[in-house]
Amino acid sequence: MVPEQALSSAQPPWSLQANPLRTDIRLLFQSAMAVFVVTVAIGLLNGQHITVLSNDVLLTHVHSGTLGWITLSVFALGLWLFSEGKAPAEKSPYLRTMSILGAIAVPLYVLAFLSGNAIARAIFGFPVLIAIIGIFGWVVARARSVRLGVPQLAILGALFTLIVGSTIGILLQIQFVTLEQSKTSFLPNGAFAAHPATQVVGYLLLIGMAISEWRLMPNTGRLPIAGLIQIILPFIAGFVLTFATLLNIQPLLGLNALLEVIAVVIYIVRFAPRVVRISWLSRNSERFFVLSAIFLVVNVSLLVYLIVSIITGALADFTSAPGVLIALDHSMFIGVMTNALFGLIQDATSERRSFWPWAGDVLFWGMNSGLTGFLVALILGQVQILEKIFTPIMGLSILLGLLTYALRMRRPREAERVEVSPASGR
């Protein structure tokens, strides 16, 4: 195994003890990890094909992952990035309220999906949207007090996109209720596709780039033009895809693909030197961030493949290649976001990194080898065989990681506390 001195990352570690918003960040991460257990449990069951899961359970799987695990963690990320310059003892009752609201409202919304009750889904979506808008409002207010680098600008764009996508999602839930009552709809037919398209392509892609920029790029104190273009193009592309799917305007799909390709080429050029220098055997968070960057390229490649196939007539729509579509989602949810978030949480719990140090190796190699096999199974259409092998490897590795980091997330013992300056925002 790797010696203990290899634990340090190239970037300064997170220190919850040094951050004035540490209680809120800890609460959001802990809530996110708890909900993610539900996501993984459903994924493990579905991957074995022992029984056919209902649509309600599958929707629970998706929303517990995207809202529970990812978005609650993104809230924590936003609090950390935009808390630069706050006094060490400074508290924010407003943020405490928003954090508690998010930590409670999101799990309740997930339970509403599990219930299958359309009215409950419509009702419990509103507190979640309020929490999203509340966090976004705080970030916008703090933007006047912090230096805005590429990560901060990407977070701003991502949260705004999240509000748009979530609003479409809540309107869809309201429409499902009206369809049950009066058989009338008020949204365009493409709304059902526009909701996930906005969330995955616009929101999550920007978050993935924000984390890559923050944790892998050196802080020069300048705003790199290439980095700025790299996040502006996906932001525009996300809304192009939203309108393309919402209003069924196929030519816009080509524009989306073009913008995505240009952005990812810039991304590859900027991050390739960081990727080739990574030490894959070192027990640090950097390998999680690097693999997140690699899967981001994989995700965009799959998206462009689907779009080009639709434009050329090889596919009728996104649902015509379900295996590739599911691979697209999981390359983002697990490959990009889960790798990045586990990297952040590893940094956030660095004061207790001596607790089960081997668990990080099991998580990293198990989760990503399982994910790679799972994606290959989906793309090649060999789901029944390979999925049964690789989903347990991926899922059990994630559960071990969640348990390890949940235990590390507890306040460190006095002897384990270290004096660490907060990582500066980039």
User: What is the tens place of the pLDDT at every residue in 308-358?
Assistant: 888 888 887 777 778 888 888 899 999 999 999 999 999 888 878 888 889
What pLDDT is stored for residue 153 in this prediction?
94
Report the domain count for the chain. 1
- C-alpha of 418 from chain center: 29
Domain range for 137 is 14-146
Predicted pLDDT of residue 85: 61
Distance CA 344, CA 350 (A): 10
Residue 196 belongs to a domain = no
Mean per-residue pLDDT, 148-164: 93
- Does some domain include residue 229? no
- Nearest by Cα to 334 from 304, 303, 307, 373: 373
CATH code assigned at 57: 1.20.120
DSSP string, 103-116: HHHHHHHHHHHHHT
Q: How far is CA 116 from the centre of its chain?
A: 25
Per the CB < 8 A criterion, the answer to whether 27 and 100 are in contact is: yes
Structural domain contains residue 93: yes
- Each residue's pLDDT tens digit, 228-276: 999 999 999 888 988 888 888 888 888 988 998 999 999 999 999 888 8
pLDDT band at 381; cut points 50, 70, 90: confident
Q: What percent of the chain has pLDDT over 70?
A: 90
The residue with tokens 């990297």 is: 343
Separation in Å, CA 284 to CA 28, 151, 360, 387, 388 = 23, 21, 8, 29, 30
What pLDDT, on the 0 to 100 scale, is given for residue 419?
39
Q: Which two tokens stand for residue 172?
A: 């869809």
- The one-character DSSP state at 201 is I
Predicted pLDDT of residue 1 = 37
Q: Confirm whether 116 is domain-assigned.
A: yes
pLDDT digits (tens, 9 = 90+) for 123-132: 999 999 999 9
Q: Which residue has the higher pLDDT, 179 or 31?
A: 31
Name residue 414's amino acid: E
- Contact status, residue 128 vs residue 404, Cβ threshold 8 Å: no
Residue type, 322: P
Asked whether residue 343 is domain-assigned, the answer is no
Task: Tell me, yes or no, whether 25 lies in a domain.
Answer: yes
Q: What is the pLDDT of residues 82-132, one digit of tens each?
A: 887 665 556 778 899 999 999 999 999 999 999 989 899 999 999 999 999
Between CA 365 and CA 114 the distance in angstroms is 31
Q: In the predicted model, what is the mean pLDDT of the chain?
A: 85
For residue 173, which amino acid is it? Q
- The arithmetic mean of pLDDT across residues 165-189, rounded, is 84
pLDDT category at 6 given cuts 50, 70, 90 is very low
Asked whether residue 85 is domain-assigned, the answer is yes
CA 82 from centroid of its chain's CA atoms: 18
- Is 269 inside any structural domain? no
**Which pLDDT belongs to residue 412?**
52
Structure tokens, 252: 């816009």
